[in-house]
Amino acid sequence: MKREVTKTYTCPMHTEVVSDHEGVCPKCKAQLVVDRRGSKQAIKEYTCTMHPDEYSSKPGKCPICNKPLVKVKS
Ligand SMILES: [Zn+2]
Ligand SMILES: [Zn+2]
């Protein structure tokens, strides 16, 4: 099973700017920085109740215990 670990990049000045690759902000031309929090929030939508380290952006099964992943409430 493939887990999505896509990094996202954002502008420090414009957090609404999100990119999946390095580059510059289209608004202020600043270098985009890795958005760790944003990417983790975006990806961690479904998780295993027994194994919180296992998570996915899509419904599925835990690769460790094979239980269905449950939706994370934020
Ligand atoms: Zn910007
Ligand atoms: Zn599990």
Ligand 1 midpoint to CA 22 (Å): 13
CA 35 – ligand 2 centroid, Å: 27
Distance 64 CA to ligand 2 centre (A): 5
Strand arrangement of the beta sheet that strand 9-10 belongs to: 18-19, 9-10, 33-34
pLDDT of residue 39: 47
pTM for this entry: 0.43
- Give pLDDT tens digits for 22-74: 999 999 999 999 887 554 445 678 899 999 888 888 899 999 999 999 998 76
Distance, CA of 19 to CA of 40 (rounded, Å) = 14
Spell out the domain ranges in the chain.
1-41, 44-74
Ligand approaching nearest to the C-alpha of 23:
1
At 1, the pLDDT band (50, 70, 90 cuts) reads low
Ligand nearest to the CA of 50: 2
As a whole number, mean pLDDT of residues 4-20 equals: 85
Apex CA 57: angle with CA 35 and CA 5, to 5°?
50
Question: What letter represents residue 14's amino acid?
Answer: H
